[in-house]
Structure 1
Amino acid sequence: MELVVQRDSDIDNWKEVMLIYSSALKQISTKLEILNDEFQHVHRYNPIEHIKSRVKTPESIVKKLKKHGYESTIQNMVEYVNDIAGIRVICSFTSDIYQIAEMIRNQSDIKVISIKDYIVNPKKSGYKSYHMLVTIPVYLSDRIVDTKVEIQIRTVAMDFWASLEHKINYKFEGNAPDHIRNELVECARMVAELDERMLSLNEEIQMIHQGSQTEEAIV
């Protein structure tokens, strides 16, 4: 099953749509890099470890449309598939996730469509991440196109777990044996505990550092 492109104009439209999504990703990525640089300048700290971005493949788009009962057309793709353009922001600590989300919300040209907080409310599998669906204007020569981008924000530990879950789901086509699924849930619990301990340790380090600076200033 392929995306329906019946005329040369449809092929041109497909190329343009992909260009628009790629451009939206570039704009979001640049914004995040600037915000990270600014944070380093002001607070001497980088909340973002690294950024990954991708445009969904035609095969993945068709699979998602079929799953939800939609015909595989360019129009349906744009209207009903929200994660064609996806960007993943990896940070060190859970507190960074909400700080980054707030910085994104404060951007005047970014409109937040929806939020799914899988950190407060993890999936049954144990999956944790913070998802934002946003639109950002892409400026073409003859018009402005508000383009959807899905942003996932998670810690390094959450990303490691999610990567393993993805591989398992791919190998077992979503039907992994019970003992493997149970082990994944247990690993997710351990990841959450690790994130909490690392955050607590970092906060203690910051307090000690600030205390030593205060003492030096008094002396």
Structure 2
Amino acid sequence: MTDWELMYDSRGDSARVPELLDRVEGDLDPEAWQELERRLTVGAPLTFPASFAALPRLVRLAGANSRARRLAGRIVRYAAATDGCDDLLEECTASIVELGRLLDEELRARPDHYLDTFRDLLATRQQYHWAAVLQDSADAAYGVGCPHCPVEVTMVIGSHAQYSTIRTEQPNDVERRTLRPATPEQLSGTGRWMYETAVRDGRYPLAEAIVHLFGRAECPRCAALFTFADEYTAANRPLV
């Protein structure tokens, strides 16, 4: 039984959230959904103790309600940016596992919001760093420190080119180095799962981006080759 008096939401309140959950469970109340979303997640991104307390009920609704799936997914995805939420996440383990199953089913249906759902699913697998970084743009940029010299290397992965560079204030990147993508056979662990899921669902541009993310980049400064995914994970994966 949730003790709502110990919880708070984005407005520092707690009593309103269970009332709103009752309203959205009873019918499709758009005003209740909007208020619930504002109270449980805000831009930054942030979540609150009340967000995790609401998660089991949201997941119970999620099988038949796409809005509940999206809100539950955002709560889990934002968890890594919320200080002191580890214990709250542990209490939601069963709900998060079930949410992951529902999100995977949704991906198989190839929804219009595929990438958001893909990112939410990554978060249910505790891959918060990849859930945060994956982008859906013509030229997505990813930065990481070169492990061999003190410069920031930016990887650009887009529909027109895939390269590493050192970003400056100049309007155009200089000293570009072509990325060396991994082959599907070279992928393992999370990278292999991400690639196989994207291919399974016919998301070939996403699959192509993934083999580049898990491939090798060349530092334009020192010419060293390194595996981008290893450096990015070491620098960004939260300790959970």
Q: TM-score range by the shorter chain?
A: under 0.3
When you count strand as a share of all residues, which structure comes out higher?
A: 1
Query: TM-score scaled by structure 1?
Result: 0.27
Q: Which gives a bigger RCO, structure 1 or 2 (Cα 8 Å, sep 6+)?
A: 1
Query: TM-score scaled by structure 2?
Result: 0.26
